[in-house]
Amino acid sequence: MTSYLIKNARILGGEPQDLLLKDGVIAAIGTRLAEDGATVVDAEGLIALPGLVDLHTHLREPGREDAETVLTGTRAAAKGGFTAVHAMANTFPVADTAGVVEQVWRLGKESGYCDVQPVGAVTIGLEGKQLAELGTMADSAASVRVFSDDGKCVDDAVIMRRALEYVKAFGGVIAQHAQEPRLTEGAQMNEGAVSGELGLRGWPAVAEESIIARDVLLAAHVGSRLHVCHVSTAGSVEIIRWAKSKGWDVTAEVTPHHLLLTDELVRSYDPVYKVNPPLRTEADVLALREALADGTIDAVATDHAPHPSEDKDCEWAAAAMGMVGLETALSVVQQTMVETGLMGWSDVADRMSARPAVIGGLTAQGRPVSVDEPANLVLVDPAYRGAVNPDSFATRSRNTPYRGRDLPGRVVATFLRGRATVLDGDLV
């Protein structure tokens, strides 16, 4: 196996140091390191972060290989600096059995670009009626610990309570897509001034906040763990802050797009901005940034949701919801959180690697950049400036809201257990 000698990288933005990656681990850190036979990587000016971990990725396989496969999705993940992703369960068939989660897990192993940790469905077929075999998925080769009906909300309070109780036995967590279904029937965008002007059916903040309020109370009542997916409103932040102040075991994630974009973009009627939960207001964006900075929101998660062009290049009402995000996540976080002075690079490592790994129960990911730790690493050029060009993406889909937009930063290299998956910005 090739060893790599990385010269003059700034670990978490600190002073330049050399790192030796050998036999899958970080074998040495210091100045003027030398190693016979190692491939030298010049990292002058680059930041070294632990490999990023995504809690929320739609890989679409099995069933929608026209949008993404495990292979294309993990290649996109590697290009975005990720060394582990959690694959959401809303595939065809749904990942609600040991068979399907093991299939996804095996495809991830074969891809070799990024660890793939399958998420299991909470209910059979994501129908919200009957609990899936959570214990069987937990005991499977895929060792599922995160369960979610993402795309749909577990809206039945009794089912949600049972799921929360069930996963306690093996330290699992329920990741909720908080969307009260009756309040959001036919919803097309955020409910507010812009939806009123455009005459589009609104998705009100209260539809998210009411489910989060119920769920934090349920989690506290049964003494279990709740994770809130893609928090998008200022009110949701307040509820989570309150739940945490009570000492309840609640964690939350925010997507890059909810940290940057607002519902003003919907005025273009370009379905690339159609996403669930919808883009909210500037006040929500600012509250989400503040909550990520102060730790109320634990993690950034991409909600990478690839769609083929025929599902996006159509009129607004008919278009699918979702955006690709793996290859732009770190740049958006740099722009919204680092360049605004809200977070440093060590905070980025915490919110995009360490904490998501802990929430997902991944013990060999999200580790510190230290000697003897697994060599999962990303090198970022923070000085890079350039317009996003989707033609260069590794994902099979092109539904990015950032086409042509200037975003800072570029992933130069990614290492998975000491093996380069990306070098000089290109897949290896």
Catalytic residues: 303
**For Zn ion, which is the closer residue by CB, 51 or 325?**
325
Identify the H or E element spanning 379: strand 377-387
Q: Applying CB under 5 A, what is the total number of residues that bind Zn ion?
A: 2
Stretch that binds Zn ion, among 106-114, 143-151, 311-319, 368-376 (CB under 5 A): 143-151
Residue nearest to Zn ion (CB): 177
Q: Which stretch binds Zn ion (CB under 5 A): 102-110, 174-182, 188-196, 410-418?
A: 174-182
SS3 content of the chain, % helix, strand, coil (to 5): 35, 25, 40
Cβ distance to Zn ion smaller for residue 150 or 155: 150
| Binder of Zn ion out of 177, 214, 225, 396 (CB under 5 A) | 177
> Are 108 and 75 contacting, i.e. CB atoms less than 8 angstroms apart?
no
Q: Which of 96, 150, 215, 284 binds Zn ion (CB under 5 A)?
A: 150
With binding defined as CB under 5 A, does residue 396 bind Zn ion?
no
User: Which lies closer to Zn ion via its Cβ, residue 239 or residue 375?
Assistant: 239
Q: Are 276 and 189 in contact (CB under 8 A)?
A: no
**Is the separation of the CB atoms in 73 and 303 below 8 Å?**
no
Residue 13 contacts residue 47 (beta carbons within 8 Å) = yes
The CB-of-254 to Zn ion minimum distance in angstroms stands at: 12
Amino acid identity of residue 190, one-letter, is: N
Smallest gap from residue 43 Cβ to Zn ion (A):
36
Minimum gap (Å) between residue 90 Cβ and Zn ion: 9
- Pick 279 or 380: Cβ nearer Zn ion: 279
- Range 126-132 contact pairs with CB under 8 angstroms and sequence separation of 24 or more: 126/89, 126/90, 126/94, 126/96, 126/151, 126/152, 128/152, 128/153, 128/154, 128/155, 128/156, 128/159, 129/156, 129/159, 130/159, 131/159, 131/162, 131/163, 131/166, 132/96, 132/97
Residue 305: CB minimum distance to Zn ion, A? 8
Beta carbon nearer to Zn ion, 150 or 347:
150
- Among the listed ranges 61-69, 142-150, 381-389, 406-414, the one in contact with Zn ion (CB under 5 A) is 142-150
CB of 230 to Zn ion, least distance (A): 6
**How many of the other CB atoms lie within 10 Å of CB of 269?**
14
Interface region with Zn ion, contact rule CB under 5 A, candidates 128-136, 148-156, 190-198, 331-339: 148-156
The tally of CA atoms less than 13 A away on the side-chain side of residue 395 is: 27
Interface contacts to Zn ion, rule CB under 5 A = 150, 177
